[in-house]
Amino acid sequence: TAKIGMALMLGALLYISAGMLQDFFDKPIEPLMEIAAIVLALNILGGAFQGILRGYQRMGAMAVANVARDTIWAVTAIGLVVVADLGPEGALWGMVAGAIIWLIISLVILVQVLRSDPPEDPHLVNRYDRRVVMALVTFGIPVLLSKLLFMVFDWTGTYVIAYFGTVEDVSIYNIAFGIVAIPLILIKAIGVAMLPAMSHAYGEERLGLMRTLWGGSLKLINSLFMPLTAMLMVLAAPAILLIYGMDYVPGALSVLILAPYLLVRPTGLMSTQILAAMALQKLIFKVNMVSVGYNIAVSIILVPMIGIEGAALAASSAFIINSVLMYHYARRESGVDVDNGAMTRLLVGSALAMVVAGGVFLVTDPLGQGFLVLLVRLAGAGLLGLGAYLLYYRRVTVFTEEEMENVMAVAEHSKLAGLILRILRI
């Protein structure tokens, strides 16, 4: 219900915007708004299907559909922007392609689920009782508003740049924002997988287990995504050159500005999940509202001064503020605490990966920048950087024994978590 309501509200906004904002921006953005409205229409149906799958506790199926959607989106968008030279329209049509695949996969899984017996869950007993329905509605309103706020958050930079800049600026910024946002897909997947376990532990008043699940999941996420973020900061420009071409290389500076928030975003995301597990949706909404308001205000101030980098700086700092506030309240409400020693060791390993990857790419510069050469240089730099990190990682201690047991339990129910464990060779 929250997803449908959010999509309807945003769809109405975009429908009105398509007619009004053309003259307001004095730029050819009406086609972009119409394509975005198509994306939201597909998300209305897909969101409804996913909501039913969540009710049937098919978290794995939801994750498969989401990963397929974002993979198709990225591949199609790159092809349409680079090969077909469609610019911003190509990126949005890529989103349409991803949404269609997402819709089809979700529908196929849903048909299979509806043919099976419903889960034996005591929480589903008397689910049509009026008090239960009213409680769900009351609980769902902050969820709806929080989701709506984050959609506004994601679009803020695009709208502000469209007003003060050019369509080309919008395209460059969206590509940079998308590159940094791709790792968040996998980070969120682990967070969503952990939410039911933390909620169950909280319901049974096993607060120690809930905190251990939080700490182990956070270390699991950071163990892989910290070094990837560090390498992204030094390889962003050649990666954009390889995929999109020279015209989009200026977006590398925006990637450099946006990437640091990935270092704290896992903490913010897992803090949000533990607050959700404790049913503190109103608190989550308030933090999101502060973050969105800050992002809008700072974007309006900085974009006219320094261009797309201003939008990147506003978004990055807003994400950092959001993560810090979420962690503050999660620590206050649940007693969770970041293992500073483990995080320091992960940061050292990530710095090593960044130095190795950057050094390898720099040393191989005389080989040139042809497509195949650049591809090999990037792949070699990334693999050697990750290899150096893994060698370091296996010599340090990150998880406690209790956290290790819970992380292994997560891997039994999450293919993504299991894959990360195999990569790290725990």
pLDDT for 328 equals 92
pLDDT for 371 equals 81
Encoded tokens for 401? 């024994």
pLDDT for 359 equals 92
pLDDT for 128 equals 47
Q: Which helix (H) or strand (E) holds 28?
A: none
| pLDDT tens across the length of the chain (426 residues) | 445 544 555 555 555 454 444 555 555 556 666 676 677 667 666 766 766 676 666 666 777 777 777 777 777 776 776 666 676 677 678 778 887 888 888 788 878 777 766 555 545 454 445 565 555 555 556 666 666 666 677 778 877 887 787 777 877 887 788 778 777 766 776 766 677 777 777 777 777 878 888 888 888 888 888 888 888 888 888 888 887 778 778 888 888 888 888 888 888 888 888 888 787 878 888 888 899 899 999 999 999 998 889 999 999 999 899 999 999 998 998 888 888 888 889 889 999 999 999 999 999 988 887 888 888 999 999 999 999 998 998 888 877 777 777 666 665 655 655 666 665 555
Token look-up 């500076």 returns: 253
Q: Give the span between the Cα atoms of 245 and 423, in whole angstroms.
A: 31
Name residues whose C-beta falls within 8 Å of residue 47's C-beta, 6 or more positions apart in sequence: 3, 4, 6, 7
pLDDT for 1 equals 47
Region of residue 396 (phi > 0: left; psi between -120 and 50: alpha; otherwise: beta): beta
Q: Give the span between the Cα atoms of 94 and 327, in whole angstroms.
A: 34
Q: Give the span between the Cα atoms of 177 and 149, in whole angstroms.
A: 17
Q: What is the DSSP track for 206-260? A: -HHHHHHHHHHHHHHHHHHHHHHHHHHHHHHHHHHHHHT-GGGTTHHHHHHHHTT
Encoded tokens for 150? 């984050």
pLDDT for 144 equals 62
Q: Where are the domains of the chain?
A: 1-121, 126-339
Q: Give the span between the Cα atoms of 97 and 68, in whole angstroms.
A: 11
Tell me the CA end-to-end span of the chain in Å, nearest whole number.
40
pLDDT for 2 equals 47
Number of Cβ within 10 Å of residue 351's Cβ equals: 15
Q: Which helix (H) or strand (E) holds 413?
A: helix 401-413
Pick from 341, 349, 321, 62: nearest CA to 215? 341
Q: Give the span between the Cα atoms of 390 and 349, in whole angstroms.
A: 8
Residues 393/420, Cβ–Cβ less than 8 Å? no
- CA 208 vs CA 161, 211, 290, 389: distances in Å: 46, 5, 30, 31
